């Protein structure tokens, strides 16, 4: 009688395992770049959409105030369209009215909220600044020959005996009240919104984009007084003029959330280089890819192929680093660039 026995395979051989591992490695090597390209394309598309939203908000602001936003000259107080940077001014037009209304003259304290529309998705920065020292305005007084400083919101309590002489009582704006009870003199200073705005706002949401300050100033000053530029006065054509776009950020600054110099301040701060760039983007040092160079007064982006700019007609266009931005930034220099040859 013949019996057939089924052969049972016990395990893979070493060679077979090595072949499988090699195949998996090849598949991963092919898949990872493809995934990275998809993520990059999605982030670039999101950034384009964010800039488009900014441009439309500029137009919404223009329709309401009959002039374009500008970079501001004081900090945010929500009592004037001239306060805060352009980023603060357009908050109501990007569905951020609560944040706009939160700035009622009180300098922002700790802050941990970003506004995604103001950011470049490729950089993936935190998008807010916090932990900075908030400078509040103060009044001064000389009492019985001794100088005192009265910080807004913090009453100065002075014990005294006998008569008291107050001289040189002054403040940068607001109201001063003096009360005497027994042998205690209390002086309270309540600063005006304008005085607080001038003192400084260090904390708040940040932006990766910069306004074109030449819209408001022939010299491109980031803190020039508001000339209330209308779209119809852009003689070079709104489609040929940059409203705002990618500002250079050093890669080492990407994770930073602590406010510092004028390049690291929130959108609540008006008239600073944190939200505007005065450079004409006409050299390799003023129009470049994010890298190791210190963040200064440059235009730039994290993309190797160039940066994105929102134009006066609401479109968003890519520009190579080899293409000077000079004539695109100056709205009435009679050197219009034909972008559709």
Residue 16 lies in a domain: no
Residue 258 lies in a domain: yes
**Look-up of token digits 């819209």:** 215
Query: pLDDT in tens for each of the 341 residues of the chain?
Result: 555 555 555 667 878 788 888 888 888 877 777 677 878 999 999 999 999 999 999 999 999 999 999 998 877 776 666 678 999 999 999 999 988 888 765 566 789 999 999 999 999 999 999 987 666 678 888 888 888 888 777 778 888 777 777 777 777 777 888 888 878 888 888 877 667 656 666 789 999 999 999 999 888 888 888 889 999 999 999 999 999 999 999 999 999 998 877 788 899 888 889 999 998 999 999 999 999 999 889 999 999 999 999 999 999 999 999 999 999 999 988 887 777 65
Residues 97 and 184 in one domain: no
Identify the domain boundary among 197, 212, 229: 197
Domain range spanning residue 193? 138-197
Q: Is 223 helix (H, G, I), strand (E, B) or coil?
A: coil
Residues 223 and 285 in one domain: yes
Q: What residues contact 319, with CB distance under 8 A and at least 6 apart?
A: 306, 307, 308, 309, 325, 328
Give the chain's domain count: 2
Distance CA 224, CA 244 (A): 16
Residues 235 and 113 in one domain: yes
Neighbours of 107 (CB within 10 A): 25
């Amino acid at each position: 009688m013949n019996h057939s026995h089924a052969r049972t395979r016990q395990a893979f051989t070493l060679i077979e395992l090595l072949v499988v591992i090699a195949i998996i490695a090849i598949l991963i090597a092919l898949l990872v770049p493809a995934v990275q390209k998809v993520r990059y394309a999605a982030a670039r598309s999101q950034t384009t959409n964010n800039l488009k939203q900014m441009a439309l908000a500029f137009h919404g602001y223009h329709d309401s105030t009959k002039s374009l936003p500008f970079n501001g000259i004081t900090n945010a107080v929500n009592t004037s369209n001239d306060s805060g940077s352009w980023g603060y001014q357009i908050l109501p037009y990007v569905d951020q009215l609560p944040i706009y209304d939160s700035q009622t003259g009180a300098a922002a304290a700790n802050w941990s909220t970003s506004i995604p529309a103001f950011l470049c998705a490729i950089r993936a920065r935190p998008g807010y600044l916090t932990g900075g020292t908030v400078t509040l305005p103060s009044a001064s007084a000389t009492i019985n020959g001794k100088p005192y400083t009265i910080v807004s919101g913090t009453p100065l309590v002075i014990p005294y005996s006998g008569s008291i002489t107050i001289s040189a009582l002054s403040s940068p704006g607001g109201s001063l009240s003096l009360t005497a009870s027994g042998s205690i003199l209390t002086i309270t200073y309540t600063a005006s919104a304008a005085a607080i705005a001038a003192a400084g706002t260090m904390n708040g949401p940040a932006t990766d984009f910069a306004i074109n300050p030449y819209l408001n100033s022939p010299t491109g000053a980031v803190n020039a007084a508001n000339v209330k530029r209308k779209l119809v006065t852009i003689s070079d054509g709104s489609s040929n003029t940059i409203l705002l776009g990618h500002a250079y950020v050093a890669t080492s600054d990407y994770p930073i959330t602590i406010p510092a110099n004028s390049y690291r301040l929130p959108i609540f701060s008006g008239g600073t280089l944190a939200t505007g760039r005065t450079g004409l983007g006409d050299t390799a040092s003023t129009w470049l890819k994010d890298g190791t160079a210190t963040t200064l007064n440059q235009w730039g982006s994290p993309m190797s192929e160039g940066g994105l700019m929102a134009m006066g007609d609401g479109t968003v266009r890519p520009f190579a680093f080899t293409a000077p931005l000079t004539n695109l930034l100056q709205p009435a220099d009679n050197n219009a660039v034909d972008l559709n040859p």
